[in-house]
Amino acid sequence: MAFRRIALAVLGLGLSLGGCDKESKSAPAASASAPAAEPAPKTAPAQKSYEIVQHLEGCEIHHRGLSIDVGTRSANARRGFEIGPFEDEKDVERDGASYGRMLDSRVAYDFWLDEDIEDLLIELRVHAIMAKRLHVVIDRRRVGTAKLNAGETRIVSFPSLKLPLSAGKHRIELRWSGRPRGVTEPYAEVDWIRIGLPDEINATYAAPTLRDVVTDVVLDGVPKTSLVLRAPSTVRCPVQLAPDSKLQFSLGFWGSGKGAADVRIVADGEEPVTLLERKVTGGGGATWTPVGLDLSKYAGRVVGLELRALSSSRGGRVAFGDPAIVRAQGSEQIVPEASTVVLVIASALDRKRIPPWGPAAGLTSISELAKAGVAFNSFRAPSTVPGSSIASMLTGLPPRAHGLEDPAARLPKQAQLLSEIVKESGGRTAMFTGVPTTFGAFGFDSGWDVYESMSPVKDIAAAEPIVRATSWLEHELGEERAKRRLVVAHVRGAHPPWDLSREEASALPPQEYGGILDARRGAITLAKVRSRRSHSQRRLDEEDWKRLFALEHAALLKQDAALQQLFALLKKKGEWEKTLFVLASDVAPGEGPEPPFDPAAPLAEQHLLVPLIVKFPGPRVSAKETSSDVTAVDVAATTLAALRLDAPANTSGRDLYSAAVGQEPLAGRAIVSTLADHYSTLFGHWRLSGQIGRTPKLCQLDVDPACVADVLETMPVAAQAIWRVTFVSESAALDHRIAPREPASIDPDTGAALTVWGDIY
């Protein structure tokens, strides 16, 4: 793709800019042993509840139609599949309310309809500045025009009109005119937009803004943070419910009079399901009524969870106190405590070629690890850039936040690696890498007691990072042990150059092979094939694929043997049962027909689904597979949890142990993978993929695993839900961005290594 070529061109230019990095960095060993760790509890209140009020920006609010709270992140999620920042609108405050300041003559917002409608009513609250007229357009059809007076804040209402709209996505556009030429002041500011149906309610419309619907309500002396809704109102939140989830809240009426409420589940193509309908009474004797609703029937599905006010006396509101999704059993499993964490990252592994997903075929160490641990069937890389994926494992941040998003970038100096967190606690850390994408030039040498890189240009075995990690651990597990240890080994895995002699390679199938691949120059050859202009020329023939797979397997056998020595050391030192051992890959090589090992491949599942096997401390969880959706930041979160260290506040990883024992996130979790301005989001059985600012494609993978049909327009509930969780995830990552992009400065040795690796050609 064009992005890859540009990135590598920049990378190549960097060859002349950098100085030489040192091959290794060391620090003195710990001088005294630390006291033994105390046993940790088996459960903890991690994600004990999903507080709906805290996630309202990801929800949709209706009151007499849809209400768009302009000037908030909730409204920004409707900006044509953009993430922001936005140049045509700025979020501002006016008189204690959020407004959107209109900086362009045209500003548009998307909205979805669950069903077809015939009539339409549009209202909005506007503070006019320089615009003299407002024109409202829906799907390029004019709704009406209103005159504006500078400095005046008022509700602009348009007469109801016959404007048939089908279920699905639509767009409302605000067009401003009348600003004098040469003037740069804003056109206007907008508080809210109502898109509704004509009704018989005579009361002045009161928009349910985020600030309006959340307040502290005290009934019978008991205060609760509440959703307070005037009837008719609905709060709909997109969720993918856990098997052990239930909805918990207290129901009451705020003010005098009475009302009625219900709770519903909505999904595409199905009638809404009412879980509860109840009347409430306010006044002096009003009390809270506790409610608990089992949601397990809807586990695993992407649905809309609705809290609704059906009726309410004038001036009063239905109150949902402390609404939350909670676990039925009330506790979250956490990873047992570890004193040693070993992270082995084998580059470019194809799951189908290693156990337990594929045959053992002599890979005895990986087979042993699979029997002693848990295989994660849905481990998805956050990027197809290998360094980006590993940066997420070692920082707990997604690519948009840590900043290493392309092959020519490096981790910023502000990035805090796991090594620094462990060292601050008095622990010891080391990293050994034989993969150029994690060399010092890319920022991975920061904060380790020992950091060593081994170039594939040199005559060094591919298994050497594991060998050196074993040697380091043997020293660290001596008489003077630190309380905590972390060692990372990044090995070539299945990636060329393959660690085989000519004689070893010639003995591999197919017999009498005369194709283009050899063990030493395999990556360079494949890079040249990938660079060919014509798709038809970017192909390997059947004989080449057979030799490639044979070369990969033979190279893996040698690295597997080194793993066995590492296992033996941990067992000999009595540390095996106290070790969190992680075997993962950075990105998948791809399944063809184009050559594998693209350093910035498209965001396809063949590049994103990678192997992850975790042996947890202790004997409780072993020989198991799980299909829970997990990603690279979870490796960092689990490492810190096992070492009983606090994760940085800006990280959001998940403890892999809870996934291993079957505890899913209460309201679901979007797994977002990114590359430049492209994204691919998994949320349950749905995948949303596209380019920022353009209409994406939505697939329902449980019925269409090949992702042939685009159902974005026909599944409005799912479409809006998955885009909203994508927007929330991407916005949060950008909010936590630690630094602007830093280009890698490549020294000649690293440049030579990248050439042999096939990333520069």
The chain-wide mean pLDDT, for the chain, equals 92
> Looking at the structure, do residues 312 and 337 belong to the same domain, yes or no?
no
Number of domains the chain is built from: 3
User: Residue 251 has which token pair?
Assistant: 């129901």
Is residue 12 one of the residues assigned to a domain? Answer: no
Q: Report, as an integer, the average pLDDT of 271-278.
A: 98
> Looking at the structure, do residues 431 and 349 belong to the same domain, yes or no?
yes
pLDDT digits (tens, 9 = 90+) for 467-492: 999 999 999 999 888 899 999 999 99
The enclosing domain of 117 has a CATH number of: 2.60.120.260
pLDDT at 330: 66
Per-residue pLDDT band at 81 (split at 50, 70, 90): very high
Is residue 711 one of the residues assigned to a domain? Answer: yes
pLDDT at 21: 40
> Looking at the structure, do residues 439 and 403 belong to the same domain, yes or no?
yes
pLDDT digits (tens, 9 = 90+) for 213-246: 999 999 999 999 999 999 999 999 999 999 999 9
Q: Is it the case that residue 454 has pLDDT exceeding 50?
A: yes
> Looking at the structure, do residues 615 and 693 belong to the same domain, yes or no?
yes
CA–CA gap between residue 158 and residue 617 (Å, rounded): 65
Which among 700, 747, 694 has a CA at the least distance from the CA of 722? 700
Q: Report, as an integer, the average pLDDT of 166-195.
A: 96
Is residue 202 one of the residues assigned to a domain? Answer: no
Is residue 18 one of the residues assigned to a domain? Answer: no
The enclosing domain of 567 has a CATH number of: 3.40.720.10
Q: Which residues of 167-206 are buried (b: 16+ CB within 10 A; e: fewer)?
A: bbbbebbbbbeebeeeeeebbbbbbbbbbbeeeeeeeebe
pTM: 0.92
> Looking at the structure, do residues 604 and 695 belong to the same domain, yes or no?
yes
Contact by Cβ (8 Å): 490, 438: yes
- Range(s) of the domain holding residue 122: 65-196
Q: Decide: helix, strand or coil at residue 283.
A: coil
Q: Is it the case that residue 434 has pLDDT exceeding 70?
A: yes
Q: Which of 308, 332, 356 is the last residue of a domain?
A: 332
Q: Report, as an integer, the average pLDDT of 701-707.
A: 94
> Looking at the structure, do residues 319 and 341 belong to the same domain, yes or no?
no
pLDDT at 332: 79
Contact by Cβ (8 Å): 257, 312: yes
Is residue 501 one of the residues assigned to a domain? Answer: yes
pLDDT at 306: 98
Q: Which of 171, 196, 221 is the last residue of a domain?
A: 196
Percent of the chain with pLDDT over 90: 87
> Looking at the structure, do residues 188 and 252 belong to the same domain, yes or no?
no
CA–CA gap between residue 519 and residue 551 (Å, rounded): 7
Q: Is it the case that residue 36 has pLDDT exceeding 70?
A: no
Q: Is it the case that residue 34 has pLDDT exceeding 50?
A: no
Which among 300, 282, 183, 191 has a CA at the least distance from the CA of 245? 300
Is residue 237 one of the residues assigned to a domain? Answer: yes
> Looking at the structure, do residues 227 and 131 belong to the same domain, yes or no?
no
Q: Report, as an integer, the average pLDDT of 264-293.
A: 96
The three-state (H, E, C) secondary structure of 583-599, written as one string: EECCCCCCCCCCCCCCC
Q: Is it the case that residue 55 has pLDDT exceeding 60?
A: yes
Q: Is it the case that residue 392 has pLDDT exceeding 70?
A: yes
Lowest-confidence region among 97-101, 238-242, 534-538, 742-746: 534-538
Pairing mode, strands 579-584 and 49-51: unpaired
- Bridge partners (DSSP) of residue 755 are none
pLDDT digits (tens, 9 = 90+) for 311-369: 999 889 999 999 999 998 867 789 999 999 999 999 999 999 999 999 999 999 999 99
CA–CA gap between residue 40 and residue 644 (Å, rounded): 9
Q: Report, as an integer, the average pLDDT of 177-188.
A: 96
pLDDT at 38: 34
Q: Which residues of 57-72 are buried (b: 16+ CB within 10 A; e: fewer)?
A: bbbbbbbbbbbbbbbb
Is residue 46 one of the residues assigned to a domain? Answer: no
> Looking at the structure, do residues 305 and 349 belong to the same domain, yes or no?
no
> Looking at the structure, do residues 650 and 544 belong to the same domain, yes or no?
yes
pLDDT at 47: 55
The DSSP call for residue 23 is S
pLDDT at 14: 41
Is residue 49 one of the residues assigned to a domain? Answer: no
Q: Report, as an integer, the average pLDDT of 664-669.
A: 95
Q: Which of 293, 311, 332 is the last residue of a domain?
A: 332
pLDDT at 22: 41
> Looking at the structure, do residues 574 and 439 belong to the same domain, yes or no?
yes
Per-residue pLDDT band at 723 (split at 50, 70, 90): very high
Residues with Cβ within 8 Å of 84's Cβ and at least 6 positions away in sequence, in order, are 76, 731, 734
> Looking at the structure, do residues 677 and 696 belong to the same domain, yes or no?
yes
Percent of the chain with pLDDT over 70: 94
